[in-house]
């Protein structure tokens, strides 16, 4: 079995077109990272989302009026 370093070196020796193909397959190879690409697409999408905007505006207003109405975030909330 190859080590990660050997795999990295092999990838670097591929022609650019082959590296691009491999890059397109990363989400299938590493499904745990696929969500990041999907979030990036959403973040960069400039289409209006009136319902989301309304929800965020209401939440910001509630936070402004009463900051203690939201639970405090703790490191344990992130699995730490």
Q: How many folded domains does the chain comprise?
A: 1
Q: Is the pLDDT of residue 39 over 90?
A: no
Question: Residue 76: inside a domain, yes or no?
Answer: no
pTM of the model: 0.43
Whether the CB-CB separation of 19 and 11 falls below 8 Å is answered with yes
Please provide residue 54's backbone torsions phi and psi, each rounded to the nearest 5 degrees.
-60, -45
> Would 57 be classed as within a structural domain?
yes
- The confidence band for 80, taking pLDDT boundaries of 50, 70 and 90, is low
Sign of the Cα torsion 9, 12, 14, 17 reads: positive
Query: With 60 as the cut, is the pLDDT of residue 37 above it?
Result: yes
Quick check: is 72 in a domain? no
Question: Domain containing 22: what range?
Answer: 4-66
Average of pLDDT values for 25-47? Answer: 81
Average pLDDT over residues 3-9: 90
Which of 1-15, 30-44, 52-66 holds the top average pLDDT? 52-66
């Amino acid at each position: 079995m190859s080590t990660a370093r050997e795999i990295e070196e092999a990838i670097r020796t591929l022609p650019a077109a082959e590296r691009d193909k491999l890059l397109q397959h990363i989400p299938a190879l590493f499904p745990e990272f696929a969500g990041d690409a999907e979030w990036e697409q959403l973040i960069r999408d400039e289409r209006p989302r009136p319902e989301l905007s309304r929800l965020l505006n209401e939440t910001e207003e509630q936070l402004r009026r009463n900051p203690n109405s939201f639970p405090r975030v703790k490191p344990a909330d992130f699995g730490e």
